[in-house]
A and B are shown apart, each in its own frame.
Chain A
Amino acid sequence: MSLRQRLVPYGLLGPGLLWLIVFFVVPMYFMGELALRSGSLTTGYTFDWAWSNFPDSLAGHTEQIGRSFFYAGTATLLALLIGYPLAYAIAFRAGRFKLLLLFAVIAPFFTTYLIRTIAWKTILSDSSPIVSVLQTLALVPPDGRVLATSGAVIAGLTYNFLPFMILPLYANLERLDLRLVEAAKDLYSSSRQAFLRVTLPLTMPGIVAGVLLTFIPAFGDYINAQLLGGTQQSMVGNVIQSLYLNQRDYPEAAALSFLMMALILAVVSVYIRFAGTGAFMGDEEEAT
């Protein structure tokens, strides 16, 4: 292979790699630099290896961090419980409605995220029929609210990230070789056993991808907590946004952003170790 031929791929990759390095990798360095500054908004922030920003921002916001874990974790679990049967139904039982159902799954993407969340605010508002139904069923106390509670934030997060759960699950289920399930039944397994021993293990990569794609954005989200929650429901995202854009306490904001990344990476790597798959990294899509 000539030198020129060997340089072709780098030429093709060049612009994209450059853009990603300059505007994604390098900014991380500057966020790190910002996180190690000290000072105040009025005197300006100067770089002086202020490592204490990290423990300080962690100690100051344990409540919001814990809440983010709880909300994002619950929303992910709910999305899996709602999404798996739906993806299964679309893959195997939908018949000629398959395309229509798939469309319904991606339909939320066609309306603005923010407006969808505001719509939930309307749906869960005190005078809404859904709330009266919940009150009649005694799931909500007669004088209770749904809006501005943890339940509303979790419902919003579940809704907003549900497509990210369903699509990888569907992609995985669709490729499932149904003859394997048949074989299990021929060998006298019950439907339940066939599902637990054959279908579920074979769709693990889809579950792992879906869980990650739901949990990560849900953990960093601040729109749902802001619009559907009250002051008692703020998550790490809300704190970071407020520190950066309102209080302009950049060092603490940057330190907290790093902590959030570190926490997510820790959770994700533990999770991948237990679930064990390379599917998320696109390993199966190697060059031909």
Chain B
Amino acid sequence: MALATRSWAWLRRNALPIYAGLAVAYMLIPIVVIAVFSFGATPKGKLTFGLDNGFTTEYWTSAFSLPELNEALFTSLRLAALSTVISTAIGTLMAIALVRHKFRGRRLTNLLIVIPMATPEIVIGASLLSMFIYYTVALGFTSLLIAHVMFSISFVVVVVRSRLIGFDRNLEEAAADLGATPLTTFRTVTLPLLAPGILAAAMLAFALSIDDFVISNFNSGTTVTFPLYVYGVSLRGIPVQVNVLATMLFIVSVLAAALVMVQQRRAERMAAVRPEPIPA
């Protein structure tokens, strides 16, 4: 009886951590499953729902042995790289305008940036397709690039803007006081301090592009990206290599995210080093 009361009390005290732990497990289970099944031996090289045939590293050593999969992955990487460069450049300029300048139409601009993020992807994909149908535009890499830049811009603006808002303008004024031209100030003070924010935005844009399925599904024509390839083969059997590549992408993304975090900390320290105010 005493034991029951005690364990009930313990449970009550630790209810929140236990609940949080279960929630975290829920979030991580699929990732673990993807990684574990990349080591599962299967007779036909297709993903099966069991690990009865034992452990193998076969699919890791032959990760890049499927030409179609390689091509899809390469298309995705090229698309993500281009879309990241364009959307990060455009979005950063927008963020600077929104935070640093006063102008008419700010509310409307904000609205135009927020609405795409709040629109279901399927509507974005379908409306773009409608326009491409109207003008009988051939779908392919270009239409995909247009779409990917479009849905990435808003996210870039939001990330860079949040970084700009916490920006210490005194540093720029100091540079100007010391005789730097606006361009030199931007290049040597603003940009280095803003870099981690831009880098974070670029990474988000890259991740969004490489992960996108719905909008690409509507606007790809015959071009096949990595998610579109997975969708295509999901009906006739997924090669285990897909799991291997997904696990690789996961590891690379984690390392990249860690790098950005370290960078951001460094920038914060840089900005924190300031001369003492001169006593009046």
Residues of A at the B interface (CB closer than 8 Å) are 6, 8-10, 12-13, 15-17, 19-21, 23-28, 30-31, 33-34, 82-83, 85-86, 88-90, 93, 101, 103-116, 118-120, 122-123, 125, 127-128, 159, 162-163, 212-213, 216-217, 219-223, 227, 237, 240-241, 244-245, 250, 253-254, 257, 260-261, 264, 268, 280-282, 285, 287-288
* A-B pairs, 4 with minimum CB distance: A220-B120, A9-B101, A12-B97, A89-B20
B147 at the interface (CB under 8 A from A): yes
Q: Which of A83, A219, A223 contacts B214 (CB 8 A)?
A: A223
- 21 A-B interface contacts by CB (under 8 A): A12-B96, A16-B91, A27-B131, A33-B134, A34-B134, A82-B23, A85-B16, A107-B31, A107-B254, A109-B253, A110-B249, A110-B257, A113-B227, A114-B213, A114-B230, A122-B33, A123-B30, A159-B27, A257-B123, A281-B110, A287-B98
- Decide: B130 and A31 in contact? CB cutoff 8 A: yes
List of B residues within 8 angstroms of A90 by Cβ:
20
Residues of B at the A interface (CB closer than 8 Å) are 16-17, 19-20, 23-24, 26-31, 33-34, 37, 47, 49-50, 90-91, 93-94, 96-103, 106, 109-116, 118-124, 126-131, 133-134, 146-147, 149-150, 153-154, 157-158, 161-162, 165, 169, 207, 210-211, 213-214, 217-218, 226-227, 230-231, 234, 238, 242-243, 246, 249-250, 253-254, 257
Given contacts A26-B131, A85-B23, A217-B121, contact A13 B97 (CB under 8 A): yes
* Interface of chain A: mostly helix, strand, loop or mixed: helix
- Decide: A119 and B30 in contact? CB cutoff 8 A: yes
In the complex, which residue of chain B has the Cβ closest to the Cβ of A82? B23
Q: Which of A8, A105, A257 contacts B127 (CB 8 A)?
A: A257
In the complex, which residue of chain B has the Cβ closest to the Cβ of A20? B112
Task: Give Cα A237 to B154, complex, Å.
Answer: 23
- Decide: B50 and A127 in contact? CB cutoff 8 A: yes
Given contacts A21-B112, A285-B161, contact A116 B31 (CB under 8 A): yes
Task: Give Cα A250 to B127, complex, Å.
Answer: 11
- Give, as a whole number of angstroms, the nearest-CB distance from A265 to chain B: 9
List of B residues within 8 angstroms of A20 by Cβ:
112-113, 116, 150, 153-154
List of A residues within 8 angstroms of B150 by Cβ:
19-20, 23-24
- Give, as a whole number of angstroms, the nearest-CB distance from B228 to chain A: 9
Q: Which of A13, A116, A120, A260 contacts B123 (CB 8 A)?
A: A260
- Decide: B49 and A122 in contact? CB cutoff 8 A: yes
- Decide: A240 and B126 in contact? CB cutoff 8 A: yes
